[in-house]
Amino acid sequence: MVKKQDTVFVVNETISLLDFLMAKMGGMSRTSVKQLLTQRRVTVAGAVQPRGDYTVMKGDRVVVSSGRGNTTLTHPKLSVLYEDEHLIVVYKRPGLLTMPTRPESSETTALSILRAYVRRENRRNSVFVVHRLDRETSGVLVFARSQALQEYMRTYWRQLVTERTYIALVEGVLPQKEGTITSWLTEDKRNAMVYSSPTDNGGQQAITHYKTLRCSEDGQWSLVELHLETGRTNQIRVHMQSLGHPVVGDRKYGFGNEYSPIDRLCLHAKVLAFIHPATEKKVRFEAPVPKEFNRVLM
């Protein structure tokens, strides 16, 4: 939300954000302009933009806040990829729950970290979970900044999402380098398990497209790219188990072999693209594949 004392500019030509601000900020030094960016006091088209090399386009609205912006989020297991007045997109590292498993839990989660982060600016601010990643799954995760937007995105999630790409380290070498897995998944909430059937058994249809990227020389591990056509609970983990090549370190859907060379479930949410619910423009976010995935194959 723009405050009366904020400074608003409209971009007239394609230019780097730093150069644009240098031309507009009335003789401020380059160092001072960079401080505006690092203090998160500059937004472009409603999104905080801390990078001076970001390219602004003709028609973009640049707002420079009069007060100090949010302190940059610093946490070993969570970093901000993008934020605006509607959404926060983060990179979650393994070992962190998306949200508490019990309401009374005091465990640190992505949700609790982000709520503390947004409340530094205003105690009434909050964030709301749109979707989840398992504790040991790393990658892109989205939160809404209002409950109404959370409900909208959850209701229309399948229509909003245009791309979901995961990277997994799996056991062995797949017989086919690429292919599609289609099955029907049923969830047993009592045992907290999901089961796959190759035929329609009344469950939810799940479709996963996969492609092998690399294999270890001894054939023990394979790095696989997976594109979700549907997004069911534990879909990738169940589908890889059904192929006989479970995700490395999967204690739930493996075959009793709990060993992981990097001591984690080797699953990573690399890309998430969706239609922004407020701007109606496609946005795409990518989290780098953990380096240890590739090191295992060497």
**What is d(CA 128, CA 200) in angstroms, rounded to the nearest whole number?**
34
33-56 burial, b at 16+ Cβ within 10 Å, e below that, comes to bbebbebbbbbbbbbbbbebebeb
Would you state the structure tokens that stand for residue 120, as one six-digit string? Answer: 């530094």
> Would you kindly state where each structural domain of the chain is located, as residue ranges?
7-64, 70-155, 163-269
Q: Where are the strands (E) in 117-177, listed by range? A: 128-129, 138-144, 161-171
Contacts of 259 (CB under 8 A, 6+ apart): 249
Model confidence, pTM: 0.78
Measured in degrees and rounded to the nearest 5, phi and psi for residue 2 equal -80, 130
CATH 3.30.2350.10 for the 70-155 domain, yes or no: yes
pLDDT confidence of residue 25: 80
For the stretch 75-103, pLDDT in tens is 899 998 888 889 999 999 999 999 998 87
Span 108-162, pLDDT tens digits: 999 999 999 888 877 888 999 999 999 999 999 999 999 999 999 999 999 999 9
* Contact criterion met (CB below 8 Å) for 269 and 137: yes
Nearest to 221 by CA among 256, 253, 269, 259: 259
User: What is the per-residue pLDDT across 203-216, written as a single tens digit (0 to 9) for each?
Assistant: 999 999 999 999 99
Residue 3: predicted pLDDT: 57
pLDDT number for residue 5: 59
Q: How buried is residue 198: exposed, middle or buried, by Cβ count under 10 Å (0-12/13-18/19+)?
A: exposed
Is 60 catalytic? The answer is: no
Q: Which residues have CB under 8 Å from 264's CB, separation 6+?
A: 94, 95, 136, 249
Question: What is the dotted CATH code of the domain comprising 7-64?
Answer: 3.10.290.10
Domain 163-269 has CATH 3.30.2350.10: yes
3-class state of residue 113 by DSSP: helix
Residues 150-202 have pLDDT tens digits of: 999 999 999 999 999 999 999 999 999 999 999 999 998 887 889 999 999 99
Selected catalytic residue, list 60, 84, 134, 250: 134
Q: pLDDT at position 73, please?
A: 79
CB 98 within 8 A of CB 130: no
Burial class (CB in 10 A: 0-12, 13-18, 19+), 82: middle
Nearest C-alpha neighbor of 112 from the set 93, 97, 122, 131: 97
Radius of gyration of the chain (CA): 22
Q: Does residue 258 surpass a pLDDT of 80?
A: no
Instruction: List pLDDT tens digits, range 204-253.
Output: 999 999 999 999 999 999 999 999 999 898 999 999 999 999 999 999 99
CA distance 71 to 59: 28
Tokens of 203: 């469950």
Query: Do 163-269 and 70-155 fall under one CATH topology?
Result: yes
Share of residues in the chain with pLDDT > 70 (%): 95
